[in-house]
C-alpha cells in the first residue's frame, strides 16, 4: 500500500477498502460492515440493509428486510462513507474516528473467537428465553415489545407469544459453536489482522497527521 499523503478522506477510503475486502473471507464484508454501522449509528445508515442474497425463511434477516430498505453492496458502502464524512464534518478527527472503528471491530471479532465465553453467554440466553416462555409477566412484556413494531402482536395469545420465545431460543445463532464455526471465527480474526496491517497499520495514523496540511 502506498504511503499516506495526509489528504482529507484518505483514511476513510482505506477503512472502506478494509471493510469491503473479499480477502476477509466469503461474505465477511457484510459482517464487519454490520459492526461498523453499529458503532457509527446514523438514521439513514441504520434504515438500510446490504443485499446478501435471499434470506432464510423465518429468520431474523427475513424479518429485518420487512422493516428496512435493501440496497446493493456498492450503495451500502457509499452510505458508510457518507456517515464517516458526516462525523468528521461534525468535529471528529478523521484519524481518531477511523482508528476507533478499526479497533472496535477487532475487539468484536476477538470476542466472537473466544468460543468458550460465547457458548456460555448463548447458553444463558437460551435459558433466559425458555424461562420467560413459562412466566406470564415476561410473556406480557415481550408481547408489548413486539406490538411496538407489529401492532397485531397485541392479539397474540400467551401460548403464541411463548412459542415465539421458545423459537428464539432455538435460533442457530444461540446454539453451541461447532468445530467448523470455531475455526471460521479464528480465521476471520486472522484475516482482519492481516488486512488491517496492510491497509491501516498503526504507523499510518501518525504519518497521516504529520503530512496533513496545516489549517
Pick the range with the lowest mean pLDDT from 133-147, 163-177, 180-194: 163-177
pLDDT above 70: percentage of residues in the chain: 93
According to DSSP, residue 173 is labeled G
What tens digit of pLDDT does each residue of 76-134 get? 999 999 999 999 999 999 999 999 999 999 998 988 888 787 788 889 999 999 999 99
What tens digit of pLDDT does each residue of 2-11 get? 789 999 999 9
- For 204, residues 6+ apart whose C-beta sits below 8 A from its C-beta are 4, 11, 14
According to DSSP, residue 178 is labeled P
User: With 0-12 CB in 10 A as exposed, 13-18 as middle and 19+ as buried, what is 190?
Assistant: middle
- Helices 136-149 and 158-169 pack at an angle, to 10 degrees, of 90
- For 160, residues 6+ apart whose C-beta sits below 8 A from its C-beta are none
Ordered alpha helix ranges (H), 41-114: 43-46, 60-65, 73-89, 94-113
- Helices 179-199 and 28-40 pack at an angle, to 10 degrees, of 70
Residue 62: per-residue pLDDT: 61
Rounded to an integer, the average pLDDT of 121-148 is: 92
Q: What share of the chain is helix, strand, coil (3-state, %, to 5)?
A: 75, 5, 25
Cβ proximity of 29 and 73 under 8 Å: yes
Residue 59: per-residue pLDDT: 56
Rounded to an integer, the average pLDDT of 132-139 is: 95
What tens digit of pLDDT does each residue of 163-172 get? 999 998 988 7
Amino acid at each position: 500500500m502506498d504511503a499516506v499523503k495526509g489528504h482529507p478522506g484518505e483514511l476513510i477510503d482505506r477503512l472502506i477498502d478494509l471493510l469491503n475486502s473479499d480477502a476477509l473471507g466469503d461474505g465477511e464484508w457484510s459482517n464487519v460492515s454490520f459492526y461498523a454501522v453499529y458503532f457509527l449509528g446514523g438514521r439513514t445508515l441504520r434504515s438500510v440493509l446490504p443485499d446478501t442474497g435471499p434470506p432464510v425463511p423465518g429468520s431474523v434477516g427475513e424479518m429485518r428486510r420487512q422493516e428496512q430498505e435493501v440496497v446493493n453492496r456498492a450503495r451500502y458502502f457509499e452510505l458508510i462513507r457518507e456517515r464517516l464524512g458526516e462525523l468528521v464534518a461534525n468535529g471528529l478527527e478523521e484519524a481518531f474516528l477511523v482508528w476507533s472503528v478499526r479497533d472496535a471491530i477487532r475487539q468484536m471479532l476477538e470476542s466472537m473467537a473466544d468460543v468458550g465465553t460465547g457458548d456460555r453467554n448463548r447458553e444463558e440466553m437460551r435459558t433466559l428465553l425458555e424461562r420467560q416462555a413459562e412466566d406470564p409477566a415476561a410473556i406480557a412484556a415481550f408481547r408489548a415489545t413486539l406490538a411496538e413494531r407489529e401492532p397485531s402482536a397485541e392479539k397474540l395469545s400467551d401460548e403464541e407469544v411463548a412459542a415465539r420465545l421458545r423459537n428464539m431460543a432455538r435460533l442457530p445463532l444461540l446454539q453451541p459453536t461447532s468445530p467448523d464455526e470455531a475455526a471460521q471465527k479464528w480465521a476471520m480474526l486472522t484475516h482482519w489482522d492481516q488486512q488491517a496491517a496492510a491497509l491501516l497499520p498503526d504507523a499510518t495514523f501518525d504519518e497521516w497527521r504529520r503530512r496533513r496540511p496545516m489549517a
